[in-house]
Structure formats: structure tokens, C-alpha cells
């Protein structure tokens, strides 16, 4: 019988490979310091304010008058107010849960999900939805940025210049992101985010002030936009999706809070919540005047983008479109940063690549190129996002924080907190189910006449 060969002595055994060897505590700390989310923790409360404004007041505000034309006065105002209240409440829950476990901070949305639902289930519940929102918004911002540049070009030229395809304007908009995407962390994009927040407030003000100055159109009608029953029903569903799209800032709130320092005496939730209150006041100052004054001025003939409905004065319309471009540049970077963090975490921790500038350059450039390619291929992506995003916007913003709150905090059954969370969950689930239906109809209608790369 053949005798088994004894194992080689320790000094002769091959060293463990890079994939087999887990990172040491010092390496783990160095990786944490390199990743973009928790690299710097010296932000003040006003960082929270303008980051949240940049995340929340996106180009979606310009589509709210159009949503009103599909909902009508009573239902539209009710949906806007309810969304503002519910999302402020769920945002407060996330701020509170950031440091709910003593000595630990949930710096990322999926980390809080893992604590609530378990290590594996939490990842599967949160990460796909968060990626749909963040990657989807980045693609939509590519399209909208290109469209705003095109509108600026057309207004300034006034028919005297050669027409340029939307594809080229999207590529122009994308070119700056190949550079800005190399900014390493949240702290480094603060200047871009502040400029974006200021621009969002400015172009929102231009939208409703110019609408008010124009006045009510003589032929204005306030009935529902669609004339057929299916059109009214699907338009209603699509409008719900537009409102949900406008309140998508929750997907980066924990990542924003991670930049604020925290001690047992001065937890990060206090300055974070102060910034959130300021941000939500600004959100209300942008959303409600644009929605109500824009719908009052144009009625059910308002365009999907209120700035397109406004034609005079031309210099003001051109300036507003350029403000939209500046805002979208900052908002793209804000939503891209958590995606960069996920990509780099996988590359460094799982595949054991060495943290380096070259790794960051390649990974982030590939991501920007991907969002640009999809935006060029599907410039009607907002309809796709209304369909697919309906499954992600509503959960991550309207009711997933409530489920986590019930799971972690376990409020007493039938208490005010218990009832409030269940009401938000029911309304959020209805929004998740109904809003994609409007986007699906719009996709079908658009696909019939669309030619790729034209």
C-alpha cells in the first residue's frame, strides 16, 4: 500500500496568494481612508444643507407643472404636500438610524440594510434598488444635460446656426465628468455641489417668476391633459412617478452624513438634521411655486420641461438652461460618488487590487463612459426610468426606511409611530406598483417612432 507523502515543512510551503490573504487591520484602515465615502469627516451642518439640496432639487422640478396637468389641482396639490411630509419623515428616520448602534456608524445605505435584514439579505434588498436610482439618475442627467445645452444653443443662435444632434451635446456634457469624476471623495466635490445647489434655486425661481410675469394664457384649460380614459389613467400613474423622481435624495443621505464628525457628546445627527431642515425649506420654496405657478400660467398645455414652454425673454431662458447644466454637473457627481465607492470597494476588498490613482482613473472613466453610451442610445431614458425606477424610487425614499425603523426600533404595536410607519408603507407600495405603468405606456409609444442614433 502506497504511503501518503508527509506535508512539507512550514518554510517550504508556498505563501498565501493575494486573494487568499485577508487584509490586516492596518491595511483595512488604509482602505477605509482611501474609499470616497468615509475618507474625510470634517463637514459642517451647511454641507448637509447644500448636498441635500443638490441631491433633491434636480431637473425633476421642471417637470412638476407637467405632472400637475395630469393630476389636476386638488389631487396634484395633495400629492405634492403628502410627498414633502412623508419624505421629510423618512429622511429623519435615516438620520436617526445612522448611529443607532453605539460605537458604530452606518455610512452607507446598504450597511443600514444589512443591520436591519441580515448581512446577505440586506445587500440583496438595498443595493439593486440603490443602483437603479443612482445609475439611472446619472443616465437621465446625461440626457437632460445634453438637452439643456442644445436648448441653450438653439435659443442663442435663434435659427442662425447649423443644427447639431443631441448626441454631440450629450458627449460635450459627459466630457467634463471624465475630469470631475477623478475628485476623490465627497469633501472634494463640495464646491461643485454648492454651485449646483445655488443654480437649482436660481433656475427654479426663474421658472416660476417668468411664468407669473407672462401671466395666465387666454386659452388656458385646467382639465386633465389626456382626453381618453386610458390616457388619463396612465397619465395619472406617470405623474406619480414624476413626483417620486423629484424626491430621490434619500439614496445618498447616509453617505452625506458620513462626512460629518461625531462624538458621544456631539453626534452627527444634530448638525445633519439642521442641514436637512434648511434643505427641505429650500425644496418647498422651489417645488411648490414652480408646480403651482407653472400650471396656473399654462394649464394642461404646459410642456414636459417648463423652461421649454417659456420662450421670452430669450436671454433669461438661455441663462436658465445653462444654470440647469451647472446644477446637473454637480448632481451627477453627488449620485455617482456612492457608485464609485461600491465599485472601488469591490475591486479593492474582493479582488484585492491595490488602491491607486490608476485604478480610480480606469474604473471611474469606464462608468462615465457607460452612462454616456446609454444616454446617447436611449435619449428617452426618462420614460425607462419612470418604469424601472418606480420599483426603486418609491422603496428607497417612501417606505424602506419605515420598514427598517419597524425592524430595528420595534415601536409598540398600534402606537402613533407604528401607525405612521404603516401608513407610509402602504402609500409607498401603491406608488411603487402604480407609477411604472405610466412609464411603460410612454416607452411603447416612443419606441414606435424612435430611430437609434439619429
**DSSP assignment, residue 411?**
P
**Domain boundaries 42-448, CATH class:** mainly alpha
Every domain of the chain and the residues it spans? 42-448
The 10 Å Cβ neighbour count of residue 32 is 13
| Concatenated DSSP letters of 100-131 | -STT----SHHHHHHHHH-HHHHHHHHHHHHH
**Per-residue tens of pLDDT for the chain, all 454 residues:** 445 555 555 444 444 444 445 556 566 677 777 888 877 788 889 999 999 999 888 767 888 998 899 898 999 999 999 999 999 999 999 999 999 988 889 999 999 999 999 999 999 999 999 998 899 889 989 988 998 899 899 888 877 788 888 899 999 999 999 999 999 988 899 999 999 999 999 999 999 998 898 888 778 888 787 778 888 888 888 888 888 888 878 889 999 999 999 988 889 999 999 999 999 999 999 999 999 999 999 888 888 788 877 777 788 888 988 999 999 999 999 999 999 999 999 999 888 899 999 999 999 999 999 999 999 988 775 666 666 667 778 889 999 999 999 999 999 999 999 999 999 999 999 988 888 887 777 777 766 666 666 5
Give kind and range of the element (H or E) at residue 65: helix 64-71
The per-residue pLDDT for range 289-311, each reduced to its tens digit, is 999 999 999 888 888 788 877 77
Q: In Å, what is the CA distance from 325 to each residue of 77, 316, 332, 358?
A: 28, 14, 10, 29
The per-residue pLDDT for range 434-454, each reduced to its tens digit, is 888 877 777 777 666 666 665
What pTM was computed for the model? 0.88
Quickly tell me which residue has 393630476 as its cell: 71
Quote the CA–CA distance of 186 and 169 in Å, as a whole number. Answer: 27
Quickly tell me which residue has 433656475 as its cell: 203
Quote the CA–CA distance of 37 and 17 in Å, as a whole number. Answer: 29
Quote the CA–CA distance of 143 and 147 in Å, as a whole number. Answer: 6
Q: Which three cell numbers stand for residue 148?
A: 439643456
Amino acid at each position: 500500500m502506497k504511503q501518503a507523502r508527509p506535508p512539507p515543512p512550514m518554510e517550504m510551503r508556498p505563501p498565501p496568494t493575494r486573494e487568499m490573504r485577508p487584509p490586516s487591520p492596518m491595511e483595512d484602515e488604509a482602505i477605509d481612508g482611501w474609499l470616497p465615502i468615509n475618507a474625510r469627516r470634517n463637514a459642517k451642518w451647511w454641507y448637509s444643507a447644500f448636498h441635500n439640496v443638490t441631491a433633491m432639487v434636480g431637473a425633476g422640478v421642471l417637470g412638476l407643472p407637467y405632472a400637475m396637468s395630469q393630476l389636476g389641482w386638488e389631487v396634484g396639490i395633495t400629492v405634492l404636500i403628502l410627498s414633502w411630509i412623508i419624505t421629510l419623515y423618512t429622511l429623519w428616520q435615516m438620520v436617526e438610524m445612522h448611529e443607532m448602534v453605539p460605537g458604530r456608524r452606518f455610512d452607507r445605505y446598504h450597511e443600514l440594510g444589512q443591520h436591519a435584514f441580515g448581512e446577505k439579505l440586506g445587500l440583496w434588498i438595498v443595493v439593486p434598488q440603490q443602483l437603479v436610482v443612482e445609475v439611472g439618475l446619472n443616465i437621465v442627467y446625461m440626457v437632460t444635460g445634453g438637452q439643456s445645452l442644445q436648448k441653450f444653443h438653439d435659443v442663442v443662435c435663434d435659427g442662425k446656426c447649423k443644427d447639431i444632434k443631441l448626441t454631440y451635446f450629450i458627449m460635450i456634457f459627459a466630457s467634463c465628468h471624465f475630469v470631475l469624476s477623478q475628485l476623490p471623495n465627497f469633501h472634494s466635490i463640495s464646491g461643485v455641489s454648492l454651485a449646483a445647489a445655488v443654480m437649482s434655486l436660481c433656475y427654479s425661481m426663474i421658472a416660476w417668476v417668468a411664468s407669473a410675469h407672462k401671466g395666465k394664457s387666454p386659452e388656458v384649460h385646467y382639465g386633465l391633459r389626456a382626453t381618453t380614459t386610458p390616457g388619463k389613467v396612465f397619465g395619472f400613474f406617470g405623474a406619480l412617478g414624476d413626483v417620486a423622481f423629484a424626491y430621490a435624495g434619500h439614496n445618498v443621505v447616509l453617505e452625506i452624513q458620513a462626512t460629518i464628525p461625531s462624538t458621544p457628546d456631539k453626534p452627527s445627527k444634530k448638525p445633519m438634521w439642521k442641514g436637512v431642515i434648511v434643505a427641505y425649506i429650500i425644496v418647498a420654496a422651489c417645488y411648490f411655486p414652480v408646480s403651482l405657478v407653472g400650471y396656473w400660467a399654462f394649464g394642461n398645455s404646459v410642456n414636459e420641461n417648463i423652461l421649454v414652454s417659456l420662450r421670452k425673454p430669450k436671454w433669461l431662458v438661455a441663462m436658465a438652461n445653462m444654470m440647469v447644466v451647472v446644477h446637473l454637473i454637480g448632481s451627477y457627481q453627488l449620485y455617482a460618488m456612492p457608485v464609485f465607492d461600491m465599485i472601488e470597494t469591490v475591486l479593492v476588498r474582493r479582488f484585492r487590487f491595490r488602491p491607486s490613482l490608476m485604478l480610480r482613473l480606469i474604473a471611474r472613466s469606464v462608468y462615465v463612459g457607460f452612462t454616456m453610451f446609454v444616454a446617447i442610445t436611449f435619449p428617452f431614458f426618462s420614460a425607462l426610468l419612470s418604469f424601472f425606477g418606480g420599483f426603486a424610487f418609491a422603496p428607497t425614499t417612501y417606505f424602506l426606511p419605515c420598514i427598517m425603523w419597524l425592524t430595528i426600533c420595534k415601536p409598540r404595536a398600534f402606537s402613533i409611530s407604528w401607525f405612521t410607519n404603516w401608513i407610509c408603507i402602504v402609500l409607498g407600495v401603491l406608488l411603487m406598483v402604480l407609477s411604472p405603468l405610466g412609464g411603460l405606456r410612454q416607452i411603447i409609444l416612443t419606441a414606435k417612432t424612435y430611430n437609434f442614433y439619429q
